[in-house]
Amino acid sequence: MTRFAAPIAEQIWDMKYRLKNGDGSPIDATVEDSWDRIADALAAVEDDPAEWAPRFRAALDDFRFLPAGRITAGAGTDRSVTLFNCFVMGTIPDTMAGIFDSLKEAALTMQQGGGIGYDFSTIRPRGAVVKGVAADASGPLSFMDVWDAMCRTIMSAGSRRGAMMATMRCDHPDIEDFITAKSDAARLRMFNMSVLVTDPFMEAVKADHAWDLVWEGAVVRTVKARDLWDKIMQSTYDYAEPGVIFIDRINAMNNLNYCETIAATNPCGEQPLPPYGACLLGSINLARLVRDAFEKGAAIDEGELDELVATAVRMMDNVVDASRFPLEAQAQEARAKRRIGLGVTGLADALLMVGLRYGSEEAARQTERWLHAIARAAYRASVQLAKEKGAFPLFDADGYLASGAMQQMDEDVRAEIAEHGIRNALLTSVAPTGTISLYAGNVSSGIEPVFAYSYTRKVLQKDGSRTEEEVVDYAVQMYREKFGEDADLPEYFVNAQTLAPMDHVRMQAAAQKWVDSSISKTINVPEDISFDDFKDVYMEAWDTGCKGCTTYRPNDVTGSVLSVDEDKKSEDKPEVLADANAGDVIYMTEPLERPTELEGATYKLKWPDSEHAIYITINDIVHGGQRRPFEVFINSKNMEHFAWTVALTRMISAVFRRGGDVSFVVEELKAVFDPRGGAWMRGRYVPSILAAIGGVIEKHMVAIGFLAGEGMGLKSDPQAEAVNMTPKKACSSCGSYDMRMIEGCMTCAACGYSKCG
């Protein structure tokens, strides 16, 4: 017997969370061993570990409480990693030395596996005078390119992919460049980007007033607020970014507004954090708590929910003491406030199991009731911890209870806090749970709707063969087991493909009322939505009390969300499939046969300070219905380059001709650093000439549709001549054309890869 509800769940555990030796042999023999490891590690900070380890273990059992991935993978190991999911880094000083000190801190944090957020509003705008050096500033966008290169470098050296959030205030003089930066499909791909929108700006938008862009208290220029808002809307309509963060609302509602100011969030937006702020995440799996599913009296056991929440709060509070931190400033910040982010996953499945249509008014009311119950239980549990272990060090009763969030809290809870204090400054957040929701049996993710009832996943076996298996949503699987495989799904079974955008907003607003941090939520909109209707989604989010808004509309830069198989006859059971011929990983012992003629492209690469250019020719072959690179020729008149360019030509071509996923060639080349130094090429730092060649090869792979272009290699070489081809959008990990946007992260249905890790 296995504890896993689906094969994909066991595969996720084995790949991401199972503790193994350096040679890959398992230490955790079963998932129960993993649960024991986590429970023991978090109980170790208690005065009586033997008392609490079994309680923590019981909370983990049956995937009821799901600590976030870094806790699940790292707790109880000797790895030098942080158990915290996300950080906002320190305020970036407006000096060259300060900027690069901040870059170093970011690299050290990402090296230990933490996603980071930064507010780039503190860097002077492009063209501003730099005092003392008789020069003009290059602006925050140019430094964001440096951060982007750093993130790719850290990603190439580690097992987790980097994730960053960049924010900028709506009154910064470079805000328009920030808004449109990602219209370039090759730029800033390691960043999520959001505009910090203030209350006065929204009032100016509604009133169609002028809006000043300022620096150091002086007006640099004035624009119309509505025009700037429309520019934000047009960019996210066209390219899915930037998102919008209602920053004044966040600060007004913040329990800690008496001692901190927030200007950035973590990469997926669910954690607004102060400088050096850190947060750990965990989720209550609502789908596992429903009793008598699909029957008239189906409901969540409130007593079980209260007990589980209390145990989860204690476990997460212990993580603050058990975790390592990349920087001492982060450790001090975490211990001074003991912030945690307890959220939910499986909400949409739980609603289905009690007979409610996601997005309906009744579903929103039920969501609000469940989130209220969780918030109430979490705050009361934290008060009990304060009575036992003390309140968080910066607790001030008057300031704390005066915050916007605490103004709406139940009076009895407020009274308990006033009398005893509280252990954790903030307690609730709804994180993206894409991977842990798969690990828990493919329950619906976070507060998102069910994305698809089922889809097909290709699995590469150890012997090199591939199998295909159906991955079914948890609630759908339960319904089939209860009523039969051929039973029609009720009308209230809806998924993201059929949901109206305003239904998304309704659910986000209902959950936000009882979430003291924020919510990671993507509002999927159809490609043919009108621009006016699209703008209405954001205004509705503002009007209904949301703290931010992120949408996803299929577009030419990030591609379509998902393809649904049109051959399926049943409308109530659509199956989502990957393209049968796209992205297959092909392993073979003999090289592909070379046709007489091949199509290709030649690129000119001019390395700074080099007398002669390098010419890179890449020829392609069509195999299995997909165009792929087949051979490379690298030439230069500079004879110093002759030996290594010939060697590189032969080695790369040999790899290409063997087939399979050859994107690692780009990964390896981009990681090469010249100890003599790289070069700045139009505002971007390229660490070596080999890295630049890797960028050209990657650009070609993107152009022919072999790579999606996100998070891979150097993205593009600014000096190379581009080919004019329209790329398909494929997963950068397995090549499948089955990418979907979930909670702000492009996620592959075929292999589970997510750019946010």
When comparing pLDDT for 671 and 428, which is higher? 428
The single-letter code of the amino acid at 27 is I
Least confident among 23-37, 466-480, 659-673: 659-673
Tens of pLDDT, residue by residue over 564-581, are: 443 333 333 333 222 323
Residue in 212, 198, 196, 195 with CA at minimum distance from that of residue 248: 198
Residues 191/269, Cβ–Cβ less than 8 Å: no
When comparing pLDDT for 754 and 238, which is higher? 238
Q: How many domains does the chain have?
A: 3
Are 148 and 278 in the same domain?
no
Question: What is the C-alpha to C-alpha distance for residues 269 and 193, in angstroms, rounded to an integer?
Answer: 10
Say what percent of the chain tops pLDDT 90. Answer: 57
The confidence score (pLDDT) of residue 733 equals 62
Residue 484 CB contacts under 8 Å (≥ 6 apart), including other chains: none
The single-letter code of the amino acid at 507 is M
Give residue 749's pLDDT band: very low, low, confident or very high (50, 70, 90). Answer: low
β-partners of residue 621 are 628
HEC-encoded secondary structure of 277-295: CEEEEEEEEHHHCEECCCC
Cis peptide before 54 (omega within 30 of 0): no
Phi, psi of 457 (to 5 degrees): -120, 135
Question: What is the C-alpha to C-alpha distance for residues 347 and 732, in angstroms, rounded to an integer?
Answer: 29
Helix axes 31-43, 49-60, angle to 10 degrees: 140
Catalytic residue among 105, 241, 270, 631: 270
Are 54 and 160 in the same domain?
no
Are 626 and 729 in the same domain?
yes
Question: What is the C-alpha to C-alpha distance for residues 448 and 68, in angstroms, rounded to an integer?
Answer: 17
Q: Is residue 586 included in any domain, yes or no? A: no
Q: What is the CATH number of the domain that holds 62?
A: 3.20.70.20
Q: What is the number of other CB atoms lying within 10 angstroms of the CB of residue 399?
A: 15
Question: What is the C-alpha to C-alpha distance for residues 658 and 588, in angstroms, rounded to an integer?
Answer: 6
Which two structure tokens, joined as six digits, stand for 509? 């607003």
Give residue 695's pLDDT band: very low, low, confident or very high (50, 70, 90). Answer: confident
Residue 539 CB contacts under 8 Å (≥ 6 apart), including other chains: none
Least confident among 83-87, 446-450, 514-518: 83-87
Are 281 and 404 in the same domain?
yes
Q: Is a pLDDT exceeding 90 seen at residue 60?
A: yes
Catalytic residue among 268, 731, 748, 756: 268
Residue in 327, 342, 313, 243 with CA at minimum distance from that of residue 278: 327
When comparing pLDDT for 712 and 202, which is higher? 202
Are 49 and 119 in the same domain?
no
Last residue of a domain, one of 400, 420, 440: 420
pTM: 0.76
Question: What is the C-alpha to C-alpha distance for residues 154 and 150, in angstroms, rounded to an integer?
Answer: 6
Least confident among 343-357, 557-571, 712-726: 712-726
Half-sphere exposure of 122 (CA within 13 A, CB side): 17
Based on the residue annotation, tell me whether 698 is a catalytic residue of this protein: no
The confidence score (pLDDT) of residue 459 equals 57
Tens of pLDDT, residue by residue over 392-410, are: 999 999 999 999 999 999 9
Q: In which residue are the tokens 């070609």 written?
A: 700
What average pLDDT score do residues 214-232 get?
A: 97
Residues 160/757, Cβ–Cβ less than 8 Å: yes
Are 188 and 312 in the same domain?
no
Tens of pLDDT, residue by residue over 703-723, are: 888 887 644 433 333 333 333
What average pLDDT score do residues 518-547 get?
A: 94
CA-to-CA separations, 150 to 105, 269, 368, in angstroms, rounded: 11, 21, 41
Q: In which residue are the tokens 């012997």 written?
A: 463
Beta strands in 142-209 (DSSP E): 164-169, 191-197
Residue in 321, 285, 303 with CA at minimum distance from that of residue 52: 321
Residue in 431, 427, 429 with CA at minimum distance from that of residue 445: 431
DSSP state of 324: B
| CA geometry: angle 745, 515, 290, nearest 5 deg | 85
User: Which of the listed ranges 55-69, 518-532, 659-673 does the model predict with the highest average pLDDT?
Assistant: 55-69
When comparing pLDDT for 630 and 312, which is higher? 312
Q: Is residue 185 included in any domain, yes or no? A: yes
Provide the sign of the torsion angle of the four alpha carbons 347, 348, 349, 355, taken in this order: positive
Query: Domain range for residue 189?
Result: 89-246
Are 329 and 391 in the same domain?
yes
Q: In which residue are the tokens 């860097």 written?
A: 123
Give residue 514's pLDDT band: very low, low, confident or very high (50, 70, 90). Answer: very high
Catalytic residue among 85, 257, 266, 318: 266
Which two structure tokens, joined as six digits, stand for 457? 């996943």
Phi, psi of 178 (to 5 degrees): -60, -45
Residues 19/37, Cβ–Cβ less than 8 Å: yes
Residues 86/75, Cβ–Cβ less than 8 Å: no
Question: What is the C-alpha to C-alpha distance for residues 37 and 72, in angstroms, rounded to an integer?
Answer: 9
> What burial class does residue 614 get, using C-beta atoms within 10 Å of its C-beta: 0-12 exposed, 13-18 middle, 19+ buried?
buried
Strands 551-552 and 523-524: parallel
**Max Cα separation, the chain?**
84
Q: Is residue 548 included in any domain, yes or no? A: no
Last residue of a domain, one of 420, 454, 487: 420
DSSP 254-285: -TTTTT----EE-TTSS-EE-TT-EEEEEEEE
Report helix, strand or coil for 309: helix
Last residue of a domain, one of 246, 276, 302: 246
Residues 737/582, Cβ–Cβ less than 8 Å: yes
The confidence score (pLDDT) of residue 570 equals 36
Question: What is the C-alpha to C-alpha distance for residues 685 and 303, in angstroms, rounded to an integer?
Answer: 57
Residue 196 CB contacts under 8 Å (≥ 6 apart), including other chains: 119, 121, 167, 168, 169, 170, 245, 247, 263
Are 228 and 274 in the same domain?
no
β-partners of residue 165 are 117, 192
Say what percent of the chain tops pLDDT 70. Answer: 84
When comparing pLDDT for 583 and 263, which is higher? 263
Residues 508/270, Cβ–Cβ less than 8 Å: no
Q: Is residue 552 included in any domain, yes or no? A: no
Residue 604 CB contacts under 8 Å (≥ 6 apart), including other chains: 613, 614, 615, 719, 720, 721
Q: Is a pLDDT exceeding 50 seen at residue 586?
A: no
Based on the residue annotation, tell me whether 268 is a catalytic residue of this protein: yes
Q: Is residue 622 included in any domain, yes or no? A: yes
Q: Which helix (H) or strand (E) holds 633?
A: strand 626-636
Are 407 and 272 in the same domain?
yes
Are 16 and 97 in the same domain?
no
Question: What is the C-alpha to C-alpha distance for residues 96 and 103, in angstroms, rounded to an integer?
Answer: 11
Q: Is residue 394 included in any domain, yes or no? A: yes
Question: What is the C-alpha to C-alpha distance for residues 248 and 254, in angstroms, rounded to an integer?
Answer: 10
The confidence score (pLDDT) of residue 159 equals 47
The confidence score (pLDDT) of residue 558 equals 60
Give residue 599's pLDDT band: very low, low, confident or very high (50, 70, 90). Answer: confident
Q: What share of the chain is helix, strand, coil (3-state, %, to 5)?
A: 40, 20, 45
Based on the residue annotation, tell me whether 270 is a catalytic residue of this protein: yes
Q: Is residue 535 included in any domain, yes or no? A: no
The single-letter code of the amino acid at 330 is Q
Question: What is the C-alpha to C-alpha distance for residues 445 and 192, in angstroms, rounded to an integer?
Answer: 20
The confidence score (pLDDT) of residue 540 equals 97
Tens of pLDDT, residue by residue over 132-183, are: 666 788 999 999 999 988 887 775 444 455 689 999 999 999 999 999 998 8
Burial 29-48 (b: 16+ CB within 10 A, else e): eebeebbbbbbbbbbeebee
Round the average pLDDT of the chain to a whole number and report it: 85
Q: Is a pLDDT exceeding 80 seen at residue 272?
A: yes
Residues 189/715, Cβ–Cβ less than 8 Å: yes
User: Which of the listed ranges 3-7, 90-94, 745-749 does the model predict with the highest average pLDDT?
Assistant: 90-94
First-residue to last-residue Cα distance in the chain: 30
Are 100 and 236 in the same domain?
yes
Are 78 and 216 in the same domain?
no
Q: Is residue 487 included in any domain, yes or no? A: no
Q: Is a pLDDT exceeding 60 seen at residue 71?
A: yes
